Structure 1
Amino acid sequence: MEKAAMARAIRHGSSLPEEIVVWEILVRLPPKSLLRCRSVCHAWCRATSARNFLLAHHGRQPSLPVVCAHECLGRDIFAFDRRAAHHQLQPVARLDGPFGLAASCDGLLIVSMYGVDGYSFSVCNPATRQLAPLLQLSDFRFFSVSLGMYLHRPTGEYRLLLHRRTYKGWTGSATEFIGGPQPTPMCFNECVLLRDNLHWYPVHDRSGNNPQTKSKPVIVFNTIAESFWQMHAPVVPINPYMFEMDGTLAMYTCNRVTDIVDIWVLQDYKCEAWEHKYRVKLPFSEISGYFGEREDFWYVRVGSADGDVHLLIHYDQSLFCVDTDGKLVKKFHLYGQELHACQLRLKQTLVQHNFFRVLGGYDVSTSPFSTVSISL
């Protein structure tokens, strides 16, 4: 469909008004196709390079779950698009070296690399293939992940929420817990950014205990006021994971004894009213049939796009897509690589950010990014 739209735009470009070509056709293309279109003519190049166009283009991109493929020399990053034909893993980028993914926001990824001195952090944009080190985070080198990344709208800065002292300087910030109740004794699963708030569900305390209390709340961080508050959560028998579903919060639990995944959806954000939406029996008899026996280690990530809920199961280095009826939809396997579904999502962007230049970031020609093309 995208290639056909681009072909029609080129064929009829001289007869269609430029406004329709740019704002109804080109703005809907994925980043790679749009970059190719810039070579058609100078007018298209100018129009699609303007910041207002790039912001509109970013707004039309889907927010897709991130899938990583590990190997000893690097990591391939994919976006899982269930809307595409045959449920595709779309190649996004290849990072040379043992990088990990710590956070994402507005098409930007925070990647971490562990060395002899601890962790180092970098910010990257896979769509523009730019990467820059966050040297001001050197004092956080023994922290493997951040709590979240967000756009601080009052200043226009991108900021990271971490555990320790405040550092500023990359048109963004690394900031400690600011204001309100500081949930420092707790550990958290991945966050969900929604309505200018970061949301986490507390998992366990630092002693390794797993306090199951009926009143355990969702921890919320307001990214505008930069203060914490708490939200009511449903009573669940197992520690849940949170995700975004159709513009609202959702959470799921996985019972490893019964192989059942339960999914709750926040029906009313203001009233904090939750509904138990799905109960999915995982098809392990069919999945294990690919390998001859039941694998002990596995985990599930639940995601949603355009009202379509899917489950991604990591099992024996492969990835299996299951729908809410418990039906196996697709199997992904890359020889020599182990596939992992992240809780992070990627909404690609071609918007330019000055901090890549300020931080001495790599450009397209010198970046450690590599292109990857894998047949699935």
Structure 2
Amino acid sequence: MDHSSSTLPLVKKKNSIMGVELKSQIKRRKTREEYEQYDGMTEFMAFEILTRLPVKSLVKCKSVCRSWRSLISDPVFIAAHLKRSGENPQLIIVAFSPKLPRRGFDMYTYEERKKRARFLFGEDFVSFQEHTFLPQHCNGLVLLNTMKQLVVCNPSTKELVALPSDKRGDVTWILEFKYTASLGYVEGINLYKVARYIYRYLNYHLNTYDLGFEVLTLGFDTSWRIAEDPPYPTGSRVCPRSVGEVIYFIIDNSLHQGPPKAFLCFNLRDEKFRVVDPPYQCPIDYDNMSIVNLEGNPCFVHQSQDRRKCKMWISRDFIEHVWIPTFSFDLLQPPRLLVPLAFRHGKLLLEMHDKVHRLEYYDPKSKVFDPVVCIAEDLAFYNKQKCGYYFFHEKAPFAVVNFVESLVPIIPKS
């Protein structure tokens, strides 16, 4: 009997079994690779789609599944969503009610084409005393400055945090210094900081003072940290403004009459002061000049003493501060308040306030002003809680704030 021939069928059968197992392994590996590729593609598509949604929708999407909740809460996603929101900036109108029984504020998203404002967020704070205004915005967070309290809120997520009120200067409170604080963002280390000055002593007759400075990092500091003292005095008539990680303060000419006739900037990254020169040959007049954040750049605004002439310069850098002349125009009706807000359709959008609080466009080519809306008289405010549309009376205090929707938390999740 030939044993070799008898063993051949067994070898063939064994090889056949091995072939089936090999094919099965290849098939399983291919399926797993395809699944991983499909899963990665799904996450990518979900990321791209979700970053395009408004915050209100994203809050609802968090309840869909754990993976979406984790994705939407991720700092990388929050940063990507903020970048997309920055491509479509908005204006919000803040209306404040200083009288009892309701002492608080309401925020409305401004819709220019429809001449209406839709309710976004509101809060009562009876114990905070009267609001002294000028809200400040940074990446979707809004700083509200009151007499005795600083409040930071995210109108999109409805988050609101009252900051610690300790160590505030008694003189600053007694003299009702309205604008002492500003909010800024330090890129790279992803920190939001509030900085404010406090007068511990002040005598205008003798030109003597004791001025301090404090910083609070949102989500990390439980109390104000004492920073270096400002080298020159600043005051309440000109609001400090943040542009990125730099806060600008105008030097108070009534307390400091010698050189430098300029302004200060405080860098939130290294928490140091620097003196910044004004535009060349610009008259320094503390009461008639200001610095604003105009689409991410510091904008120096100067009005003549009769407020009939206005000039503006923009700086593209935060180190040398080379000032570029940008706008110069005459005003037939000099406003008490003039704030450049944004560029729209090749025109400059201005907030003005004299007898009425209004928005106007200025066309630099035709040098013509085009009225947009009188806030109290022409603008319809919609609030579902107040049964639809209504109008404010002119005496109601308003503030117009540049704004972008964001998921940025005031207190980061650990």
TM-score by length of 2: 0.63
Amino acid at match of 2:228: I
Task: Give the deviation of 1:228 after TM superposition.
Answer: 0.8
Query: Is 1:309 matched with 2:348?
Result: yes
Structure 2 match to 1:350? 407
Aligned letter for 1:326? F
Q: Which amino acid aligns with 2:233?
A: T
Contact 2:234 2:252 in 1 (8 A): no
Structure 1 residues 25 and 339, CA gap change in structure 2 (3 angstroms):
farther
Q: Is the 8 A contact 2:179 2:237 kept in 1?
A: no
Residue 229 (structure 1) shift: 0.9
Deviates more, 1:88-97 or 1:150-159: 150-159
Q: 2:272 aligns with which of 227, 235, 238?
A: 227
Q: Which residue of 2 is the match for residue 51 of structure 1?
A: 75
Identity %: 18
- The amino acid that maps onto 2:282 is V
The alpha-carbon deviation at position 167 of structure 1 amounts to 7.7
Aligned partner of 2:386 in structure 1 is: none
Question: Alignment length, in residue pairs?
Answer: 321
Cα deviation 1:288-347 (Å, max 9, x = unaligned): xxxxxxxx97422212257753111124453232324322233322323625335x6444
Q: 1:175 to 1:348 in 2, by over 3 A?
A: farther
From the superposition, tell whether residues 42 and 176 of structure 1 become closer, same or farther in structure 2 (CA, over 3 Å): closer
Aligned to 2:12: none
Is 1:158 aligned to 2:193, yes or no?
yes
Note if contact 2:193-2:215 (Cα within 8 Å) is conserved in structure 1: no
Matched ranges for 1:1-376 at <5 A: 18-19=42-43, 21-38=45-62, 44-62=68-86, 64=90, 66-71=92-97, 72=99, 73=102, 74-80=104-110, 85-86=113-114, 89=117, 91-97=119-125, 98-101=130-133, 103-114=136-147, 119-137=148-166, 139-140=168-169, 142=173, 144-151=178-185, 156=191, 158-163=193-198, 164=212, 171-172=220-221, 174-178=224-228, 182-184=231-233, 189-206=238-255, 216-234=261-279, 235-237=281-283, 238=285, 239-255=288-304, 257=306, 259-266=308-315, 269-282=318-331, 284=333, 298-305=336-343, 309-324=348-363, 325-333=368-376, 334-336=391-393, 338-341=396-399, 345-354=402-411
TM-score computed with the length of structure 1 as normaliser: 0.68
Residues of 1 paired with 2:240 and 2:337: CA distance?
A: 18
Q: Which amino acid aligns with 1:221?
A: F
**Any stretches of 5+ residues in structure 1 without a counterpart?**
1-16, 285-295, 358-376
Change (3 A) 1:111 1:33: same
Compared CA separation, residues 89 and 204, structure 1 to 2 (3 A): farther
Q: CA deviation at 1:111?
A: 2.9
Check conservation: 1:123, 1:132, Cα contact below 8 A.
yes
What SS does structure 2 have at the residue aligned with 1:162?
Answer: strand
| Superposed CA RMSD | 4.0
- Answer yes or no: is the 8 Å Cα contact 1:130–1:356 preserved in 2: no
Asked if the contact 1:121–1:133 (Cα under 8 Å) also holds between the matched residues in 2, the reply is yes
| Alignment partner, residue 28 of structure 2 | none
Q: State the structure with more CA Rg.
A: 2
CA distance in 2, matches of 1:227, 1:200: 13
Q: Supply the distance in 2 between the matched residues of 1:280 and 1:167 (Cα, whole angstroms).
A: 38
Match of 1:288 in 2: none
Q: Relative to structure 1, is the Cα distance of residues 348 and 305 closer, same or farther in structure 2, using a 3 angstrom cutoff?
A: farther
Alignment CA distance shift 1:139-1:220 (3 Å): closer
Preserved contact between residue 99 and residue 113 of structure 1 (Cα < 8 Å) = yes
Query: CA–CA distance in 1 between the matches of 2:94 and 2:254?
Result: 28
Q: Distance in 1 between matches of 2:252 and 2:115?
A: 32
Q: Whose helix fraction is larger, Structure 1's or Structure 2's?
A: 2
Contact map agreement 2:90 2:402 (CA 8 A) in 1: yes
